[in-house]
Structure 1
Amino acid sequence: MSDGDPALEEALILHQRGEFEAAQRVLRQHLEIDPNSADGLHLMALCEHAMNRNDTALEWLEKAIAQQPEEAVFLSNAGMIAFGCGRLERAEGFLERAVAANAQHAESFNNLALVRERQARFDEAAALLEKAIMLKPDFAMAYANHGNVLRALGLLDRAITEYQNAILISPMLAAPHNGLGNTFRQMDRRVEAIESFDRAISLDPGYADAYFNRAMTLAAQGETAKAEADLAQAYGLRPDHRFLVADAGLLPVIPASETEIIRWRERFIRKFEELSEGLVPISGDPEQVGAMNFYLAYHGENDCEHMEQLAAFYAKAFPDLLWTAPHCNSSDKQEGRPIRLGVASKNFGEHAVAWMIFGLLAQLPRDQFSVTAITPSGSNEGVSDRISDAVDDVLQIAANITSARQQIADERFDILLYADIGMEPFSYFLAFSRLAPVQCVTWGHPDTTGLRSIDYYISNDIAEPEDGQESYTESLVRLPGVQSWYPRLSRSEPLPSRQDIGLPSEGAIYLCPQNLIKIHPEMDANLADLLARDPEGHLVIFGASDPNWTRLLLARWKPVFGRNFERVLVLPRVSLQTFVDTIALSDVVLDTWPFGAGNTNYQTFAMGVPVVTLPGRWIRGRGTLAHYTHMGIDDCVAQSPAEFVEIAHRLGTDHAYRKEIAAQIEARSDAVLEDEVCADAFAKFLAEVRAKA
């Protein structure tokens, strides 16, 4: 700003007070006298921007830049106003000129980094921010922005350090607390995340993004009503369409009742229908507003309509998701070489998905297939040895969709198999693209994707009901055998005692080892009835990954179980071997309904322990039925909730009967473990669809 000009000084004071129209009256008089006053034109632009008249603000800035083309401050401000309006190319042009005009202007490097971040050019963004920090070591916002970029690169520990640096420099700055909260949220450290968002909001009560981020963390904790309130607050502060999308996608993690499930499912459909009317494309990352559709599968209903509606909505809201790799349009099949199979998942570490699929991948004949595991860099668990040993190569892709899909496209896969679409937002949104001529999904998450880009859902013949195709938008593939090639696990030798692992020494142990989100409210009264029938028995569960889920379930159970609630035991999360030993020490394992066991069944049958099951309507509740069918055992398959309780009670109290059933399971478990039939059929199917493509 020019020194000594009274009009400019007066206008600047008015601008700083927020009296923008008064400032402009002074500036107009000044510009009548000096129409080429660059500082006057610049300040007019800032007033227009403050009143959210950004098109006019850019016009004034361009006039100022015409007077002083090398003024980095003018160029940088023009770039940020264009950036805020979503005009990325114009912002890039202004900011590239700014850093070229003044290589010492830290703010320009910081601002250009924001553009590079939006373009998913994260390495370049990081380098620009490092330059900004070098030029201005006390630049708190640059540290916070560097944290954001490092988080996008999956470098979470380094991101935390940068946010903490920003807070040390400027303790009253809200942005680094918000960034720190997002990092903790990404690490599933939700209590710390909420504390960080609380701090950001206390520093800046108008911080809409902090309310939004806190809402999504609360939703993940199962606090759906609180999340709904925070999203309403965020939208009230800034009418951002993304907040409405996130609100529409809310679902309870641990539903309080069957009535609540019905209400939220109806709300889900209604909200997305309302948003679809007059929908225009939304800018930003769709992962930030991913719906909680993962939880639909646990309600026991046909989700085809919900998932198809959701996919159509996102395709319209984020049209950039609909991308096709160039080689998918080529007719060149490159015959005479192994089929290039890519297998994508974020859960290739010590996760049930990895256990369920690694055997099938390892069994694929290598004269016919070249197999690559695909996973985002920075995934918390990385890639387990069993996955690495089962494939020929591991491709670590970027943790953002734009870069990741290009990396996958560059590999020119013949078939892309998603192990678990729906488990988390990244793979779901990645799968909107056509990255291979043939794209399939399998049962890592046993529900339809609703995506037109996915050609086949690979499933199991016996586990699927006759009308199973009705629940899929993909073509249903019904493979023979069981659902996986799964190794036989062993108990510890010697087996620890009950007391050693925290179980009661007396009474029957009814173990329900499933993820707590599978325990449907319909089960509650029946589980309570089981304990009422067996006054010496204990119902045992494992605590959830989020302690709040456990709290919500126990709060739901307490009034239902009454005085028998004291015989509900919650074990801490344990190692795989201790988990298997706990199963081996239990009298009965209780399957959940309508979403039943998958991975746990293989572990339980290897221990020779009976699993009581009530088959569900769709495949996600019929895995145990399929296993028993293969073994030729039907004694533990109930036809009603009452029969479920009756079978479990008999197994828990009639020791001779339990011993008889356990002996049958031990003798016949080879039928479901290390199943070559499924592995052979899997390879045959992939070869056939490649030939047809």
Structure 2
Amino acid sequence: DLDEARAHLERALALQPDSFEALMGLATLCQETKDYARMAELAHRAHQLRPDRPEPPGLMGSSKLVRHLFSEAIEFLREAVRLAPGEPEHRVMLGRGLAALGRPQEAIEEYDRAIALRPLPQWRLEAGSVVPVIADSVEQILWWRRRCERCLDQLLAEDLGPADPRLLAVNNLGFYLGYHGMNDRPIAEKAAAVQLKLRPDLAWTAPGLEKRRPARDKGDPIRVGVASSNLAGDHTIGLLFRGLIRRLPRDRFHVTAIDLSGNPEFAKEVGPLADAWIQAGKRLEKARERIAALGLDVLVFADIGMEGASYFLAFARMAPVQMALYGHPVTTGLRSLDYFVSWGRAEPADAQDHYTERLIAPTDLPAWYEPLLPSGQAASRSELGLPEGRRLYGCAQSAFKIHPDMDRLFAGILDRDREGVIVLVKGMDPHWDALLRQRLARSVGDRLERIVWIDRMGIERFMAFNASCDVMLDTVHFCGLRTSLDALAVGTPIVTWPGAMMRGRQTFGLYESMGLGECVAHCAEEYVEKAFGMATDGERRAAARNRILARHDCIYRNEKGVMSLATSIETGWTGLPVKLA
């Protein structure tokens, strides 16, 4: 029992505050319970006592890594490797850190050194699935994707020998692959097959599950569980889906909220919205058993691919019907998921080809989003550090969403509008910004002086930033959803160019919901002209803003979104035919 173990170690530490063993034992336990701030503090104290030991800097690096402080993490992880060059685990952690920082070649070199010391197939999978965080070119994207597929094919073909049953290969492909603008289904399916080859026990089935569905009484509410690591706090997933958990009709559903993160705020923020709630815990086997014990009819994973916990849990069969929501709008590649719930207005005609799961695409977005309007006087351009007296084209997307195909759009807008400035938001790590700046310096040349970066900001300043821009630029291939909802909340027009897959068509879907199309482009030239025209024509921009504000009820606090999820769950439970909107 983790609580009992923690209490025991806290008592030991109170008796011996300078005990290296107690500090490290408690720090390791904090890692298990995801108390990363306490973990870092304890590891730091241990490092001061024993600067010759590699474990404390290893834990300090891990704590930085999970909090996305990648450059800081690398310093500690390099120190751990220096102190114990023959211990492969520290090299693997350094490889993960370098991959997250956006140094893929260096990451692979560290993985290779670890594999030379201990040739685990899990680490080979991790090394083979590294991709750049900030892509340098379309050609580079294609090269890395081909490398990933070769690695997966090789692992599927080989007799891999014994894998460590305690280890799970980090799913490097689950997140950044989706930003390349290509169909990820073939790679996702191969990655899942390799994971199962390494760990067949992932395909666990809850005992007695096959008897549960026939025993259900007609007319009983469907027992639904919604699982995620990101339902609490200001994460996009929570902001999109907490309202659904609260508003699903209780005559048709009994709703259990399932926390996969151990977030202490979950009980206060999410628990009261559901009929029941649990924190599944970090350990895979226990989490599966706890979820299976709920006796659910339908288990809904909100955002598989955002982190590892939900991905590895979803290999198991814990409910008769299992679904993925579009929280991370990329197929999981998992045969254990029966359905993928998406959004009909944003899906293309060939959408089913992009998913391993059977696609359910209701017309209305399954979400309940509250517009986050400024509570007082919005900050001015000067207060936000923005140029005054210039036309501002804002692009509020994360750095890894800015695909190389955006570069020609930026260049075209800056050529068209000599008084225009493009405003980007800094990434989570300064190295990401440096990589993006280097790419743009090559692709847009001296126009780079009219691209500025502003600091990341809280929601009040972010909404003021949206209001300060003349027009927002949606990214291609993987566009905004929450960021688009935030810009439209203050009426700022967004120019968008719908892509080939749902994740590049979400802003288009919002405009379709509102019956507006004047900011939707269908080629690069039209994108540039629409952005320029909206930014330079004040009357046109004001009219567009008024039309957006007048149609807010189509996308915010929309009861149709609740019914979309309700109908999707019932479709999955009853096995009704699946149809695109």
CA distance in 2, matches of 1:368, 1:453: 25
- Alignment CA distance shift 1:153-1:672 (3 Å): closer
Q: Alpha-carbon deviation of 1:309?
A: 0.7
Which amino acid in structure 1 is aligned with residue 39 of structure 2?
Answer: A
Match of 1:594 among 472, 477, 497: 477
CA distance in 1, matches of 2:272, 2:217: 27
Q: Alpha-carbon deviation of 1:305?
A: 0.6
CA distance in 2, matches of 1:161, 1:489: 35
Q: If each structure's helix is expressed as a fraction of its own residues, which one has the higher value?
A: 1
Work out whether 1:632 is the aligned partner of 2:490.
no
Q: CA deviation digits over 1:96-154, x for unaligned, max 9?
A: xxxxxxxxxxxxxxxxxxxxxxxxx6557657878998999977456434422331122
Asked if structure 2 preserves the Cα contact closer than 8 Å seen for 1:249 and 1:293, the reply is no
Counterpart in the other structure of 1:52:
none
CA distance in 1, matches of 2:552, 2:167: 44
Match of 1:295 among 170, 176, 182: 176
Q: Alpha-carbon deviation of 1:531?
A: 1.3
- The DSSP-based 3-state class of the residue aligned with 2:254 is strand
Which amino acid in structure 2 is aligned with residue 290 of structure 1?
Answer: N
Q: CA deviation digits over 1:568-594, x for unaligned, max 9?
A: 121111111221121112110111001
Asked if structure 1 preserves the Cα contact closer than 8 Å seen for 2:409 and 2:524, the reply is yes
Counterpart in the other structure of 1:275:
155
> Which structure has more RCO (C-alpha within 8 Å, separation ≥ 6)?
2
- Alignment CA distance shift 1:628-1:161 (3 Å): closer
Counterpart in the other structure of 1:666:
549
Asked if structure 2 preserves the Cα contact closer than 8 Å seen for 1:492 and 1:581, the reply is no
CA distance in 2, matches of 1:125, 1:386: 27
Q: Which has the larger radius of gyration?
A: 1
Work out whether 1:484 is the aligned partner of 2:484.
no
- The DSSP-based 3-state class of the residue aligned with 2:414 is helix
Q: CA deviation digits over 1:290-323, x for unaligned, max 9?
A: 2333111111111111111111110111111111
CA distance in 1, matches of 2:60, 2:483: 35
CA distance in 1, matches of 2:35, 2:561: 39
State, as a whole percentage, how many aligned pairs show the same letter.
37
Counterpart in the other structure of 2:450:
567
Match of 1:435 among 318, 325, 328: 318
CA distance in 2, matches of 1:471, 1:668: 31
CA distance in 1, matches of 2:494, 2:167: 40
Counterpart in the other structure of 2:53:
173
Counterpart in the other structure of 2:189:
308
Counterpart in the other structure of 1:383:
266
Equivalences for residues 181-192 of structure 1 within 5 A = 181-192=61-72
Which amino acid in structure 1 is aligned with residue 469 of structure 2?
Answer: S
Which amino acid in structure 2 is aligned with residue 554 of structure 1?
Answer: R
Q: Alpha-carbon deviation of 1:180?
A: 2.5
CA distance in 1, matches of 2:329, 2:524: 23
- Alignment CA distance shift 1:134-1:388 (3 Å): closer
Gaps of 5+ in 1: 1-120
Counterpart in the other structure of 2:255:
371
CA distance in 2, matches of 1:138, 1:509: 56
Which amino acid in structure 1 is aligned with residue 519 of structure 2?
Answer: C
Asked if structure 2 preserves the Cα contact closer than 8 Å seen for 1:298 and 1:594, the reply is yes
- Alignment CA distance shift 1:494-1:453 (3 Å): same
For normalisation by structure 1, the TM-score amounts to 0.78
- Alignment CA distance shift 1:133-1:603 (3 Å): closer
Asked if structure 2 preserves the Cα contact closer than 8 Å seen for 1:338 and 1:369, the reply is yes
- The DSSP-based 3-state class of the residue aligned with 1:531 is helix
CA distance in 1, matches of 2:10, 2:425: 45
Equivalences for residues 161-310 of structure 1 within 5 A = 161-276=41-156, 277-280=158-161, 282-310=163-191
- Alignment CA distance shift 1:132-1:364 (3 Å): closer
CA distance in 1, matches of 2:409, 2:558: 34
- The DSSP-based 3-state class of the residue aligned with 1:521 is coil
Asked if structure 2 preserves the Cα contact closer than 8 Å seen for 1:287 and 1:425, the reply is no
CA distance in 1, matches of 2:300, 2:419: 48
Asked if structure 2 preserves the Cα contact closer than 8 Å seen for 1:350 and 1:384, the reply is no
Which amino acid in structure 2 is aligned with residue 362 of structure 1?
Answer: R
Q: Alpha-carbon deviation of 1:404?
A: 1.1
For normalisation by structure 2, the TM-score amounts to 0.92
Asked if structure 1 preserves the Cα contact closer than 8 Å seen for 2:228 and 2:258, the reply is yes
Q: CA deviation digits over 1:179-225, x for unaligned, max 9?
A: 22222222323233222212222222223221111110111111111
Counterpart in the other structure of 1:558:
441
Asked if structure 1 preserves the Cα contact closer than 8 Å seen for 2:225 and 2:255, the reply is yes
- The DSSP-based 3-state class of the residue aligned with 2:476 is coil
Q: Alpha-carbon deviation of 1:602?
A: 1.7
Which amino acid in structure 2 is aligned with residue 189 of structure 1?
Answer: L
Q: CA deviation digits over 1:520-575, x for unaligned, max 9?
A: 00111220221122111111111112232222111211232322212212111111
Match of 1:622 among 500, 505, 518: 505
Asked if structure 1 preserves the Cα contact closer than 8 Å seen for 2:476 and 2:499, the reply is yes
Asked if structure 2 preserves the Cα contact closer than 8 Å seen for 1:281 and 1:316, the reply is no
CA distance in 2, matches of 1:397, 1:548: 35
- The DSSP-based 3-state class of the residue aligned with 1:570 is strand
Q: Alpha-carbon deviation of 1:242?
A: 2.8
Q: CA deviation digits over 1:633-652, x for unaligned, max 9?
A: 22111111121111101111
Q: Alpha-carbon deviation of 1:440?
A: 0.6
CA distance in 2, matches of 1:126, 1:388: 24
Counterpart in the other structure of 2:579:
none
Q: Alpha-carbon deviation of 1:175?
A: 2.3
Match of 1:153 among 33, 41, 52: 33
Asked if structure 2 preserves the Cα contact closer than 8 Å seen for 1:212 and 1:231, the reply is yes
- The DSSP-based 3-state class of the residue aligned with 1:198 is helix
CA distance in 2, matches of 1:182, 1:284: 22
Which amino acid in structure 1 is aligned with residue 415 of structure 2?
Answer: A
CA distance in 2, matches of 1:327, 1:214: 43
- The DSSP-based 3-state class of the residue aligned with 1:638 is coil
Q: Alpha-carbon deviation of 1:241?
A: 2.6
CA distance in 2, matches of 1:440, 1:338: 18
Counterpart in the other structure of 2:340:
457
Match of 1:356 among 235, 240, 257: 240
Which amino acid in structure 2 is aligned with residue 164 of structure 1?
Answer: H
Asked if structure 2 preserves the Cα contact closer than 8 Å seen for 1:281 and 1:318, the reply is no
Gaps of 5+ in 2: 577-581
Aligned length: 572
CA distance in 1, matches of 2:303, 2:166: 21
Match of 1:475 among 358, 363, 374: 358
Please say which of residues 643-652 and 369-378 is displaced more in the overlay.
369-378
Counterpart in the other structure of 1:23:
none
